[in-house]
Structure 1
Amino acid sequence: MDIRTSDMDLAARVAHLSKHYGDGPHRVTALDDVSIGIRRGQFTAIMGPSGSGKSTLMHVMAGLDSASSGQVWLGDDEITHLGDAALTRLRRRRIGFVFQSFNLVPTLDVMGNLRLPFELDGRGPSAQERERIAALVERLGLEGRTSHRPHELSGGQQQRVAIARALATRPDVIFADEPTGALDSRTGREVLGLLRSAVVEGGQSIAMVTHDPVAASHADRILFLADGRIVSDRGPMRPEQISETMLGLEAQGVAA
């Protein structure tokens, strides 16, 4: 009998995943036989040297890129061979995204951006979902800002809006790509605290790609990649421990 992703307490997983770009002598292997899962209700950081495959792993797990071989699941649904239309619906309904560049729609105000995932899905938020949005606005300190457009907000406020938008649909998992990369250190810590509280208080599952040891130190689990493979799967670590591990990977190109 097949073991389901939910039986493994995973929000998403890949099995024997490989990803190649190009053909023949120009072929580049970004991921090489990776099998890993994102645990439910946990904050997972994905780290590795430049070119290690960490962003590719996130993109494939999130349905933004396709696998060359292997299998990809979101919850108990295999998404490996879904078409573009089905993947678009899945991303809208079951995946949240937080990006370094915020990716807010500049012509919409804060509330318009928060309602956008529902409207892209062809509907308005239900009464329960409107209550959830209101609670997120209050919790993330965005009250009094809901009629402002992105250019009227600070970087930290824009990222708060992006986090609220990602949480609004109660996604299976949130993928965060360098979410503090465009922020100063103090604001970055605040944003990481918000992501952390979404895990601890809301039971959210978050996978974050980052190169920042301080950011990764907020995670429950840290996956280290090198040359397209998982080379270390660790629990919580201090920033200096993470830095040492990363230096070792960059210097040796071998398992941590």
Structure 2
Amino acid sequence: MEITTTDLGLAARVQHLTKTYGTGEGEVRALDGVSVGIRRGQFTAIMGPSGSGKSTLMHIMAGLDAPTQGRAWIGDTEITGLGDLELTILRRRRVGFVFQAFNLVPTLDAIGNITLPFDLDGRRPSALERARIDGLVESLSLGPRLRHRPHQLSGGQQQRVAIARALATAPDLVFADEPTGNLDSRTGREVLALLAAASRDHGQSIAMVTHDPVAASFADRVLFLGDGRIVADKPRQSAEEVGAYMLGMEVAA
């Protein structure tokens, strides 16, 4: 009998994952035999020096990129062999994304961007979903900005709209790629506190790629990647502990 991801208490996992780019002499191994899971209801930070494979790992886990070898699951659905359409529908219904570059639609106002996942799914938010969106808008202080388009918003406001969009459908799993990279430190901390609350209060599983020790200190668990392999898997760390470990990795390299 095959053990499922749910049996293991995981929202997503990868097994024996390898990703190479190029061929022959020019081959680059971005990931080298990685097996890891993202635990349900937990906020996981994925850290590592530049070029360690952390963004590649997240993109494969999210179905945005395909592995060279190995398997990946979101929940109990193996995504490794899925076609583009099936993958798109799965991501739309079960996964939220927060990117460093916000990725908002410039022609839509803030509320239009927040409700975009419902429009793409060809449906209106239910009463329950509408209440959740109202709650997100309030907790993110976006009320006065709902009719503004992205170019009328500050970077912090745009990122808050992106987070509201990612959480609007209450996805099982949220992937955040350097979500505080373009924000000042106060706004960054607000964004991180919100992601932490989404996992703590709503049982959502969050996987965040970051190079910032302060951002990682908000997570329940910190995975460290080096040269395409997981080199450490640690419970909640202080920013100082994360910084010291990263420094040690760079010195060892």
Q: TM-score range with shorter-chain normalisation?
A: over 0.9
CA distance in 2, matches of 1:29, 1:88: 27
TM-score normalised over the length of structure 2: 0.97
1:120 Cα offset (Å): 1.3
Partner of 2:159: 159
1:128-143 superposed matches below 5 A? 128-143=128-143
Partner of 1:115: 115
SS at match of 2:98: strand
CA distance in 1, matches of 2:142, 2:184: 19
| Counterpart amino acid of residue 213 in structure 2 | P
Partner of 1:184: 184
Partner of 2:63: 63
CA distance in 1, matches of 2:216, 2:180: 11
1:9-20 superposed matches below 5 A? 9-20=9-20
Partner of 1:38: 38
1:244 Cα offset (Å): 1.1
Partner of 2:250: 250
Name structure 1 gaps, 5 residues minimum.
none
Q: Percent identity?
A: 70
| Counterpart amino acid of residue 214 in structure 1 | V
Q: Give me the CA root mean square deviation.
A: 1.0
Number of residues paired by the alignment? 253
1:197 Cα offset (Å): 1.1
Partner of 1:235: 235
CA distance in 1, matches of 2:111, 2:202: 21
Q: 1:95 aligned to 2:90?
A: no
1:169 Cα offset (Å): 1.0
Partner of 2:213: 213
Question: 1:186-226 deviations in whole A, cap 9, x for unaligned?
Answer: 11111111111111111111000000000001110000000
CA distance in 1, matches of 2:224, 2:245: 9
Partner of 2:29: 29
Question: 1:39-94 deviations in whole A, cap 9, x for unaligned?
Answer: 01111000011110000000000000001111100001100111111111111111
Structure 1 stretches of 4+ moved >3 Å: none
| Counterpart amino acid of residue 209 in structure 1 | V
1:12 Cα offset (Å): 0.2
1:124 Cα offset (Å): 2.4
1:131 Cα offset (Å): 2.2
CA distance in 2, matches of 1:142, 1:201: 20
CA distance in 2, matches of 1:127, 1:184: 35
